[in-house]
Structure 1
Amino acid sequence: MSLSGYFTRKPVFDIFPLETADAGMAAALHRARFSRPWNDGEFHSLLSQDPVYGFLALKEGALGRTAGGFVLARAAAGEAEILTIGVDQRFERAGLGWRLMQAALREARMRGAEAIFLEVDEGNIAARGLYAKLGFAKVGERKAYYAGADGSRSTALVMRRDLR
């Protein structure tokens, strides 16, 4: 049994509101995680819209700021939607996804949303586990919704969580 895991400290990140000035950081994280990445212009455009909000996990260090993950969401007419979320692969399983989602859920409630929705690739077992722990339940499917880099298609699971 290796003891190395016992001596490794999880990186410390703070959660900040995602601003239009952070569009480049969010786009870089998105590019590293998705086969059809959004560019900084798309993030900037979305963040410029009133119903859209997001959060960024940042760590200050000797070499400057490191972005560990982000979440982008929208809330309107009593409902909210997670548009996209991504965590840097180096910081997976460090709790950033959980913390970012908690921030998004709190903000959705503050904006008057009674329910929140998201879509997840059925093959993304880690994300599905996170969403289940957060109380999301499958309410639908979109067959052949996601396109992989190799041209393959996968099903999107539509998930919902009550915020009341």
Structure 2
Amino acid sequence: MNALLHDQRQWMPMAVRHLDAVLAIENVAYPVPWTRGNFIDSIAAGYEAWLLVDAQQVLLGYFIAMDGVEEMHLLNITVAPARQGEGIARFMLDRLVVLCREHHAHELWLEVRESNVRAKLLYSRYGFQPIRVRRGYYPLPPGQPGREDAAVMSLKVESEQ
């Protein structure tokens, strides 16, 4: 990616006024998307909720992470489908690691659908390690019976020297 374009990305705290744009991406990106209420609850709880926008203020992606005792839990990370494959997810993971350090979190945890091979590969390449499988963690799309397993993954976050 062009360094100039990379430098023009901006982080913005997610607010309720942004949710129409967030949900437009969420509803295309996932078979069972988060609801407006899920986002509102996360913002109200004070979770780390951030948007990544380009120089024209177009939403590229977003994430929500919950701070815990010496750990952070990634709840949702999404790149606009039209912008996937440009390194945006790695850029957002880099920001999450910075937030972990700021919060003195030594690990970053996440769950990912077993069927989401692309995301699992990204996380593995980034350094996340598989920990276990949570059986029946994710709901399936409407009309499909049952639930899908989740891979639980963790990344050790080293303090900056």
TM category, shorter: 0.7 to 0.9
Contact 2:10 2:55 in 1 (8 A): no
Q: 1:29 aligns with which of 10, 20, 25?
A: 25
The TM-score normalised by the length of structure 1 is 0.82
1:68-83 to structure 2, matched below 5 A, reads 68-83=60-75
Say which SS state the counterpart of residue 36 (structure 1) adopts: coil
Structure 1 stretches of 5 or more lacking a match? 1-7
Tell me which residue corresponds to 1:160.
Answer: 154
Residue 151 (structure 1) aligned with residue 147 (structure 2): no
Structure 2 stretches of 5 or more lacking a match? none
Q: Cα 1:135–1:146, aligned 2, differ >3 Å: closer, same or farther?
A: same
Structure 1 position 56, deviation (Å): 1.5
Say which SS state the counterpart of residue 118 (structure 1) adopts: strand
Structure 1 position 9, deviation (Å): 7.2
Say which SS state the counterpart of residue 138 (structure 1) adopts: strand
Say which SS state the counterpart of residue 59 (structure 2) adopts: strand
Tell me which residue corresponds to 1:124.
Answer: 116
Residue 66 (structure 1) aligned with residue 50 (structure 2): no
The TM-score normalised by the length of structure 2 is 0.83
User: What is the alpha-carbon distance in structure 2 between the residues aligned to residue 162 and residue 9 of structure 1?
Assistant: 30
Tell me which stretches of 4 or more aligned residues in structure 1 moved more than 3 Å.
8-13
User: What is the alpha-carbon distance in structure 2 between the residues aligned to residue 25 and residue 18 of structure 1?
Assistant: 14
User: What is the alpha-carbon distance in structure 2 between the residues aligned to residue 126 and residue 60 of structure 1?
Assistant: 27
Structure 1 position 87, deviation (Å): 1.0
Say which SS state the counterpart of residue 115 (structure 2) adopts: coil
Q: Cα 1:121–1:112, aligned 2, differ >3 Å: closer, same or farther?
A: same
Identity across matched positions, percent: 21
Q: Deviations over 1:121-163 (max 9, x none)?
A: 1111111111012110011101222223251532100001111
User: What is the alpha-carbon distance in structure 1 between the residues aligned to residue 128 and residue 12 of structure 2?
Assistant: 23
Tell me which residue corresponds to 1:94.
Answer: 86
Residue 45 (structure 1) aligned with residue 77 (structure 2): no
Contact 1:142 1:155 in 2 (8 A): yes
Residue 18 (structure 1) aligned with residue 10 (structure 2): no
